[in-house]
Structure 1
Amino acid sequence: MPVYKGEKRGTYWVKMQIELPDGTKKQHKKTGFTSKGEAQEYEAKMKAGVLENVSKLTFEAVAIKYLNWYETRRKPASFAKVEPIARKYLIPYFGKKKIERISTADIIEWQDYMMKTKFEQRWGTKKILANDTLLSIHTRLSAIFNFGMKHHNLKTNPAAVVGNFELKPVKRLNFWEVHEFEDFYNAIDNIKYKIAFLLLFYGGIRKGELLGLQWKNVDDKKREIFIEVSAGKFGVDDTKTEASERVVSIPESLVKLMMDYKESLPEAFKEDDCFILGEIGTRPLSPTQLDRMYDKYLKKSNVRRIHIHEFRHSHASYLINKKCTITVVAARLGHKDVAETLNTYAHLYPNSQDEAIKIIEQDIKI
């Protein structure tokens, strides 16, 4: 199986025999290598069986290989979001088809099917999927084809050629105003959960960041908390991004409440490595327990429901309404740059045009 060099383009190519699923053999040709070494490496892998014959692979086989690859390289929480997409919406539809035979026409038919079909939800009802969900599913489909191209000699990505659903993501930005949070807060009868929801509303931290807080992360003299990890049902992990690792100033009254709570705990639960909200000091509070307590106090207060993550939106909205600069809002939320914050919260500055024109009106000379 020699390596050849094309005269016109100057690239290299290899030719070899491969075995088809029915046992017959045929010539296989692979072109477009930029160097002789690259072509030889491909040839060696084919000889060793490292590169499987793509004509043998079904979509399901490649999708499962992709999931296995993803699971070993990404956080468990990320994998927990990706796996159900592949197993519920992609593998059942494309599963047994040979992946190299899936065409752009097949992708278009799949998109039509996805936009028209009502899928069963966790609570038993069926509904058409939201725009954001459809866009996310297509992104994952394209990622599987890209994986096939990179690792299994697939030649094209029909999902990328077709492009994502021609749908606009629906931006849902729900939040509480201060009086709503106060009504909710007044229904809380446990100091631990008072601290939890105060940190979410007035700290703007994420749920996982809250659960990952340890006593060593609290500086009661400087009135600061240091966010360095995130906790969830898969354990303790790094923060969402590098920018998420940050220092957040908190009100003096909240610091005092936290210190009073700490004083009430057994000595074994006051150690630096103990989790502030942990039911057992060295183990963080479970996210489901926080959810249960949120539901309890929500019903008791009769305040309209928002998602726990939307406490962050509430915090941002509160600061913006208090004329806090966007750079400070971005820093407190742990965004990597101001652009991310503006992209999410720009519409909360409804009077910005009015303020701008007032300034211009004062200076313009006509």
Structure 2
Amino acid sequence: MGSVSSRPENGKLFMDFRYRGKRCREQTSLEDTRENRKRVQKLLDRIEAEITLGTFDYAKHFPHSPRAEQFKAMRLQSQHLDTPLFSEFVEVWFSEMLIQWRKSHSDTVRQTLNGHLLPAFGEKEVGRITKAEILEFRASLAKVTTRSNRKLSPSRINHIMTPLRMILNEAANRYNFSSPYQGIKSLRVPRTDVEPFTLDEVRLIIEKVRPDFRNYYTVRFFTGMRTAEIDGLQWHAVDFERRQVMVRSTIVNGEIQSTKTDGSFRAIEMSQLVFDALKRQQQATGGMKFVFCTRNGSPLSHNNVTKRVWYPLLRHLGLRKRRPYQTRHTAATLWLAAGESPEWIARQMGHSTTEMLFRVYSRYVPNLTRQDGSAFERLLKSNFNDFKPGAE
């Protein structure tokens, strides 16, 4: 953000701003008065707008400035810069990044490249893409509608723009030009309020769900596991002796992968309800590889489970439609309601710090005193003491 100041030696106003990564100070002949400051500030605002749009011509505004010649030389150099087409550089960049990405992420990036970035920039030289073109492209994304006839959300647009930023920044480093993405900030994403279930709703769901999924949802609600984590849970990761569920892998698009982050690699303490549910499940699928699976032992398809079990159940019970991921939010809010330590809860959730816990669940945080899971165990016992799932 530029500023307008006056020089102590002569009292004349000057502008202080940044252009192409360099600090620029340009003197005016105007005295430091309130009216003159307004005039200079108005000019500075117009200059910064042009810089953002990529249309700023230094020599046009400051024809006698030494900086004008410097930036003119830089512009001429960039015009003669020999850079590959965006489509060519993308393939090099993508192949080099594959080694550090999970397959599910690389598939997502590939879809973004093919569906959005290559059609827009593929035939342009990577060194000649301007900030104005980037902003125009982002604005066009806001007009795109999905199959469900919805506009792309700010979060989705940001996810599309992220590979573009990475590509252009890497190309700028390799071919020695200023990245046109410089100064472009991500769109503001509205905070999504969590919609956890109450303990009474949880009990109702577990009581009324079809019997072959009762253990599944008991574990989901009281461990906070993500869908890919519970669907990819294997029996060797269930430690009944230590009463822990070891989250070591996930399943995405039918493939076993490592956990999302180092923090996601964790041990979840079993409450008695979870322990009992897994013991019952062991009788049904103990001879299989996956804890929760189809009759032939293959992993569950989360789309099928959601459409054929989860949503029909919520409709039947008259409960508001919510994504299955709300079972994870429910676990967090129940732990908080029980008074468990934020650090303990963060470890159970797979968060590296308590920052997200307080940011997402702040309104559910009471006075926290317990730190070992015992408070949550007492909460469950007081509400589920007479609960016998599957009993007639």
After TM superposition, the score normalised by the length of structure 2 is 0.66
Q: Which residue of the partner structure matches residue 305 of structure 2?
A: 290
Partner of 1:248: 268
Aligned counterpart, 2:10? none
Choose from 290, 295, 305 the match for 2:321: 305
Match runs of 1:153-168 below 5 Å:
153=175, 155-159=177-181, 161-168=182-189
Q: Is the 8 A contact 2:232 2:299 kept in 1?
A: yes
Contact 2:237 2:247 in 1 (8 A): yes
Return the offset for 1:235.
0.9
Backbone CA RMSD of aligned residues: 2.7
Seen in structure 2, the aligned counterparts of structure 1 residues 203 and 93 have a Cα distance that, compared at 3 Å, is same
Aligned match for 2:109, one of 65, 78, 82: 82
Alpha-carbon distance in 2 for matches of 1:80, 1:299: 34
Aligned residue for 1:248, secondary structure, equals strand
- Matching residue of 2:225: 205
1:102 Cα deviation (Å)? 0.9
Cα distance in 1 for residues equivalent to 2:290 and 2:187: 45
- SS of 2:251's equivalent in the other structure is strand
Deviates more, 1:286-295 or 1:235-244: 286-295
Alignment of 1:43-122 (within 5 A): 55=82, 57-115=84-142, 117=143, 119-122=144-147
- Cα separation, 1, equivalents of 2:110 and 2:145: 17
CA apart distance, 1:94: 2.0
How far apart are 1:168 and its partner, in Å?
4.0
Separation in 2 of the partners of 1:288 and 1:258?
23
Q: Which whole-Å CA distance do the structure 1 matches of 2:234 and 2:179 have between them? A: 46
174-183 vs 59-68, greater mean Cα deviation: 59-68
My pick for the range that moved more, 305-314 or 59-68, is 59-68
Cα distance in structure 1, aligned partners of 2:302 and 2:93: 28
CA contact under 8 A between 1:138 and 1:164: conserved in structure 2? no
Unmatched segments (≥5 aa) in structure 1 = 1-52, 353-366
Which residue number corresponds to residue 27 of structure 1?
Answer: none
CA distance in 2, matches of 1:237, 1:166: 31
- In structure 2, stretches of 5+ residues that fail to align are 1-79, 369-392
- 2:246 matched residue in structure 1: 226
Alignment partner, residue 140 of structure 1: 163
Of residues 68-77 and 209-218 in structure 1, the stretch that sits farther from structure 2 once superposed is 68-77
Normalising by the residue count of structure 1, what TM-score does the alignment of the two structures yield?
0.70
Match of 1:341 among 357, 369, 376: 357
Matched, 1:277 2:292: yes
Q: Distance in 1 between matches of 2:364 and 2:228?
A: 25
Match of 2:185, SS state, is coil
Give, in whole Å, the separation in 2 of the partners of 1:288 and 1:254. Answer: 24
* Shift in CA distance, 349/190, structure 1 to aligned 2, threshold 3 Å: same
For residues 352 and 89 of structure 2, what CA distance do their matches in structure 1 show? Answer: 34
Following superposition, the deviation at residue 146 of structure 1 comes to 2.4
Q: Is the 8 A contact 1:275 1:281 kept in 2?
A: no
> 3-state SS of the aligned residue for 1:128?
coil
Identity %: 18
